[in-house]
A and B are shown apart, each in its own frame.
Chain A
Amino acid sequence: MVQERRILYEHLDVPNINTFDVYRQHDGYKGFEKAIAEYQPDDISKMVMDSGLKGRGGAGFSTGLKWSFVPKDIEPRYLCCNADESEPGTFSNRYVLEKNPHLLIEGILICCYAMGIETTYVYIRGEFTLGKKMLDAALEEAYQQGYLGDNIKDTGINVNIYTHPGAGAYICGEETGLIESLEGKRGQPRNKPPFPAVEGVFMKPTVVQNVETLCNLPFIVDKGVEWYTEMGPTYGDARFDPPKPDQNTGTKLYCISGDVNEPGVYELELGLTCSELIEVAGGLRGEEVKAVIPGGSSAPILTHYELDTRLDFTSLTLAKSMLGSGGIIVMNETRNIVDCLLNIMKFYAHESCGQCTPCRWGTPWVRDIVQRIADGEGRQEKITRPKFGIAEGGRWGDTGETEEIYEDLDLLESVANNIANVDTMTWNTICVFGIAVSWPAVSYMRKFRPEFEAAIREGKLVTLSVEEATVPPEENYAFQQRIIPKEMSELA
């Protein structure tokens, strides 16, 4: 069985690790001290780039690359630490804040040193009262010990960290929504470009980084890039000659919930498969896996045929899903997928910030369609439309044939695709909340179409067996189009 690899969480359960002294005794602030003693700021940025660290908050964007976009000649620059953690199924940042806040402070210090940043705001979701309290206490200690404030450790570096509470809006997790909210306004995302790296909070260059991403920094600096890159797979992008390396380095704080025996956060090297993770989490609670959400509720769902997918950024993207925030939700054979989708759509309908028409109107519309189907009032009429499937040349596409589909299912798909189109990956909305709505809506419907059809046909929710509920692999758009990446070592 795959073993846990605790790095960020290594000392999480040490009693009083939240205090400065105990944190110090466990190599605390070693990474930061090494950074200021041995490296120039640019060296740190280069190390982060070379480490292949990708953002853990959702988008999986290269951290080093993001830093390289920040103009160095505009002062002041800011760091916003994203501790809004509201993606359903995600709960790893909470434990860092509540149990090991000095690790986050150290990560922030390294980022500030590398980027020449003097002010950091940690945007903590409003419900995290304990997390905020623990971090505030740790900050006070760090100020007293001379690790924060002016002229830190006689280096001439000044860093101030402030916590900032949110107030219950999911969209403030989106980086520009967070910035607007931090400025004291409604948390409505901004149009991009300009990206926050160029023009962020208070219209100054801003680095927005998730808690977990920042917590990786002390280890990259302390133990070195080589040590770090040994963890997790490095794939080769075979479209390039020679293949371009695509790093999925480091560990991930996988959050697993739902139908497993031991839900929780497991820190593992990136790249284990979905079935392996379920094993690590004490195995399935129930008889059979029906479905797995691999990256928080925004991610497209996986069927039991897709459980061999590796849980890393590249593999999941190529399987037409995403690692997102690393929140894995498992559903067993007793679950009804229509009901699950309804739950998720209620969430999104409530959380749309309301700026863009497709999202403001489309999201409640999708919810209403699913509600209608779940209530047994799905429209019985059928329509005829072009059938997609394995077309000429063995590739997914328009087969030239037609199919009959319940009007409501076609409507569900088209409303969702008009918020953000999951096939072309295009959208007319300001932020990617739109795709976070249409991804689940379309993927659940397409992959578990028999269960949706049964609900409409029978006029009530019917939970089919796993086999009956799932479309076979030949008809699964994602399964047919997925690419399984090869590791560099295999390509050589």
Chain B
Amino acid sequence: MSDEIIQLETPFQFNEENKKQFDELIGRYPIKEAAMLPTLHLAQRQAGYITPAVMRHVADLLEVTVMKVKDVVTFYPMFFEEPVGEYVIRVCQTLPCALRDCKVVLDHLKEKLGIDVASETNLAKGTTDDGKFTLMKVECLASCDVAPVIMINDDLHKNLTPEKVDQILAELPS
């Protein structure tokens, strides 16, 4: 039975460079478990999303149970348990952005990409079929002075209009 599960999954292990980063991280805290969030970020960057294999590996490294890792992963919105697009687009929806027409930006993105907005339990419905984009709503990104804003992966884009969105998407490296 367990053999079967292992075969279905892609195994996971930190690559050389991430292993080095992890070793440095772990030295920062008096207990290993405290390195949980940075370790999960590192793992998600390598694997794309948090698979059961990732959780097992992280649990082994931090010497905690897999359940404990799962517990953390489910709490934080930035960790994904399903595949996401190459570009994750986060559209801020909170009041200051709403006062600056963020809905127009969101609707434009929905129409342009032909997808719905992903929900925490269903990332697939907000992901394009080619796996290029995932569209998500998020809360205040602490940039309300340049609202409306979106984040595409790690980059913030400010003062958006539908035209600007088109331009930004066109300039993304494919």
Taking Cβ atoms with an 8 Å cutoff, the residues of A that contact B are 85-91, 93-94, 125-130, 160, 162, 164-170, 181-187, 202, 255-259, 263-265, 293, 297, 327, 329, 331, 335, 340, 343-344, 346-347, 350-351, 353
Pairwise interchain contact B30-A343, C-beta atoms closer than 8 A: no
Report B102 CB to chain A, min CB distance, Å: 10
User: B76 touches which one: A129, A162, A164, A169 (CB < 8 A)?
Assistant: A169
User: B144 touches which one: A126, A166, A255 (CB < 8 A)?
Assistant: A255
Pairwise interchain contact A85-B34, C-beta atoms closer than 8 A: no
Number of A-B contacts defined by CB within 8 Å: 137
Pairwise interchain contact B142-A164, C-beta atoms closer than 8 A: no
Pairwise interchain contact B142-A182, C-beta atoms closer than 8 A: no
Q: Given contacts A85-B142, A86-B140, A94-B143, is CB(A184)–CB(B95) below 8 Å?
A: no
Q: Could you say which of B1-9, B37-45, B104-112, B125-133 contacts chain A?
A: B37-45
Report B170 CB to chain A, min CB distance, Å: 23
B94 within 8 A of A: yes
Pairwise interchain contact A126-B78, C-beta atoms closer than 8 A: yes
Report B33 CB to chain A, min CB distance, Å: 4
Which residues on A sit within 8 Å (CB–CB) of B138?
127, 168
A-B residue pairs in contact (CB < 8 Å), sample of 22:
A88-B139, A89-B140, A89-B144, A90-B142, A91-B145, A94-B143, A126-B76, A127-B138, A130-B154, A164-B37, A182-B34, A184-B31, A184-B62, A184-B64, A185-B71, A186-B75, A257-B144, A258-B95, A259-B99, A340-B95, A347-B140, A351-B139
B118 within 8 A of A: no
Which residues on A sit within 8 Å (CB–CB) of B142?
85-86, 90-91, 93-94, 125, 127-128
Give Cα distance in the complex from A90 to B154, angstroms.
20
Report B125 CB to chain A, min CB distance, Å: 18
Which residues on B sit within 8 Å (CB–CB) of A340?
95, 98
Cβ proximity bits B62-84 to A, threshold 8 Å, 1 near / 0 not: 10100000011001111100000
User: B75 touches which one: A86, A187, A343 (CB < 8 A)?
Assistant: A187
Give Cα distance in the complex from A89 to B145, angstroms.
8
B36 within 8 A of A: yes
User: B140 touches which one: A88, A130, A265 (CB < 8 A)?
Assistant: A88
Pairwise interchain contact A183-B33, C-beta atoms closer than 8 A: yes
Pairwise interchain contact A258-B99, C-beta atoms closer than 8 A: yes
Pairwise interchain contact B36-A185, C-beta atoms closer than 8 A: yes
Which residues on B sit within 8 Å (CB–CB) of A164?
37-38
Which residues on B sit within 8 Å (CB–CB) of A94?
142-143
Most central of A127, A130, A344, A353 by chain B CB within 10 Å? A127
Give Cα distance in the complex from A168 to B154, angstroms.
13
Pairwise interchain contact A170-B96, C-beta atoms closer than 8 A: no
Pairwise interchain contact A297-B95, C-beta atoms closer than 8 A: yes
Give Cα distance in the complex from A41 to B135, angstroms.
51
Complex: chain B residue closest to A346, CB-CB? B93
Which residues on B sit within 8 Å (CB–CB) of A331?
99
Pairwise interchain contact B75-A329, C-beta atoms closer than 8 A: no
Which residues on B sit within 8 Å (CB–CB) of A162?
28
B123 within 8 A of A: no
Pairwise interchain contact A335-B99, C-beta atoms closer than 8 A: yes
Which residues on B sit within 8 Å (CB–CB) of A351?
139
